[in-house]
A = this chain, B = another copy of it.
Amino acid sequence: MGIHLAHRMDILKASDVRELLKVTQRPEVISFAGGLPAPEFFPGERLADIAREILAGDGARALQYSTTEGHAPLRRQIASRLNALSDARYTADNILITAGSQQGLDLTGKLFLDEGDEVLCESPTYLSVIGAWNVFRPTWVEVPTDDDGMDMAALEERLDRCRRPKLVYVVPNFQNPSGRTWSLERRRRLMEVTGRRGIPVVEDNPYGELRFEGQALPSLKAFDARGLVISLGTFSKIFCPGLRLAWLAAEQPLYEKFVILKQGTDLHTATLSQMMVSRYMERYDLDEDVRRITEAYRIRRDAMLAALEKELPEDVRVTRPAGGLFLWAELPPGVNARDLLGRCVARDVAFVPGEAFFPNGGHENTLRLNFSNMPPDRIAEGIRRIAAALAEMQAEAA
Report which A residues bind B (CB closer than 8 A).
1-9, 12-15, 18, 21-22, 34, 36-37, 39-40, 42-45, 47-49, 51-56, 59-68, 99-100, 102-103, 106, 110-114, 117, 128, 131-132, 134-136, 164, 166, 198, 200, 228, 236, 240-244, 253-254, 256-257, 259-261, 263-273
A362 to B22, CA, bound (A): 50
Q: What is the CA–CA distance of A261 and B260 in the complex, to the nearest angstrom?
A: 20
Query: Would A63 and B49 count as touching, CB distance under 8 A?
Result: no
A264 touching B55, Cβ below 8 Å: no
Contacts of A42 in B (CB 8 A): 59-60, 63-64
Q: Are A242 and B270 in contact (CB under 8 A)?
A: yes
> Is B242 in contact with A66, judged by CB distance below 8 angstroms?
yes
Oligomeric state, in copies: 2
Interface centre among A55, A136, A266, A271 (most CB of B within 10 A): A266
Instruction: List the 9 shortest-distance A-B pairs measured between CB atoms, nearest first.
Output: A44-B59, A48-B55, A39-B60, A51-B51, A242-B271, A63-B240, A131-B264, A48-B56, A63-B242
CA distance A164 to B3 in the complex (A): 11
Residues of chain B within 8 A (CB-CB) of A272 are 51, 242-243, 273
**Is B67 touching A44 in the complex (CB atoms < 8 A)?**
no
Check if A267 sits within 8 Å of B49, measured CB to CB.
no
- Contact partners of A63 in chain B: CB under 8 A: 39, 42, 44, 47, 240-243
